[in-house]
Amino acid sequence: MKVLGAFGSKTKNSQLSSYLLDENTVIDAGNLIQSLGDDFLKLDNILITHAHFDHIADLPIAIDTYYSRIKRPIKIFATQKVIDIIQENIFNNKVWPDFSKIPLFENEGNTITFHALEYFKEYTIGNFIMKPYPSFHSDGSCGYVINNQMVFTSDTFLCYHTWQFLNENKNLTKLVIEVSFPSAYNRLAVLSKHLTPALLKSELESLERDDVKIYINHLKYEFIDKIIDELKEIGLYDKVTILEDNSEIEIV
């Protein structure tokens, strides 16, 4: 997995959520253009965790930018609820053209196709086995269990599924989980359904193993130093890896 965008804020030095599984398949579309360039054209599968803008921002722009060179329909996977939100609010011929009804420039088929995923079902998508599961973050939001090896929460807030999966299945050895705000912003974190270092620590009390490699993502840019300080204060900093743009995690 190559991290194309590790953060919850877009700045000159931080990019929005995008996680490339291999050259054909990516989770979330926060940063596809600047990171991939023309390699965007190799993508067949774009999985979306939820419809918040930081996870879909490059999707409409990239499809338009590369339209004339897209050779086969790009498949967009998400829960039906998230697909509905994206269709109604982005690809609605008002904010942006409905590329699911626009034929490819040269080949048969429409430019994008939407594919609804159901929670807790396993799907083979590209070279990966993906199991979406509900997170408690936004309408239709999900995390993914990837290749029976990694739990990828995306934006999550409190979510007992994460810990249940990890406790029950020892094949799951990697966890990517968000921390967005410092603990002092607990109210904002709860309102926006995000984790703080303190909330993560209390969540981790549900984890009955100590052999899970934990990666942290989605830090809000303005709070990076504060979040790192807090992780140190509560003794978590040495137990986790904070993801950055271009970090890599092995998935086999």
User: Six-digit token pair at 227?
Assistant: 């979040």
In this complex, which beta carbon is closest to Zn ion, that of residue 52 or of residue 75?
52
* Minimum distance, C-beta of residue 55 to Zn ion, in the bound complex (Å): 6
Q: How far is the CB of 34 from Zn ion (least distance, A)?
A: 18
State which residue, 54 or 230, has the beta carbon closest to Zn ion. 54
Q: Which tokens in the block code for residue 95?
A: 């904010």
Q: Which residues pair with 18 in a beta bridge?
A: 5
Please state the closest distance from residue 50 (CB atom) to Zn ion, in A: 6
Calpha distance 9→219 (Å, rounded): 8
* Shortest CB 73 distance to Zn ion, Å: 27
Give the Cα separation of 244 and 3 in Å (integer). Answer: 7
Of 155 and 230, the one with the shorter C-beta distance to Zn ion is 155
Choice between 5 and 73, CB closer to Zn ion? 5
Q: Is 52 or 174 the residue whose CB approaches Zn ion more closely?
A: 52
Complete DSSP assignment for 103-120: BPSSSSSBSEEEEEE-TT
Helix (H) or strand (E) holding 81: helix 80-89
Which of 128, 157 has the CB closer to Zn ion?
Answer: 157
Taken as a whole, the chain contains a residue count of 252
| Segments in 152-240 forming alpha helices (H) | 160-168, 186-191, 197-204, 224-233
CB of 54 to Zn ion, least distance (A): 4
- Rounded Cα distance between 7 and 221, Å, is 7
Least distance to Zn ion, CB of residue 8, Å: 5
Which residues of this chain interact with Zn ion, rule CB under 5 A?
52, 54, 155
Q: Which residues contact 44 (CB under 8 A, 6 or more apart)?
A: 24, 25, 72, 74, 75, 126
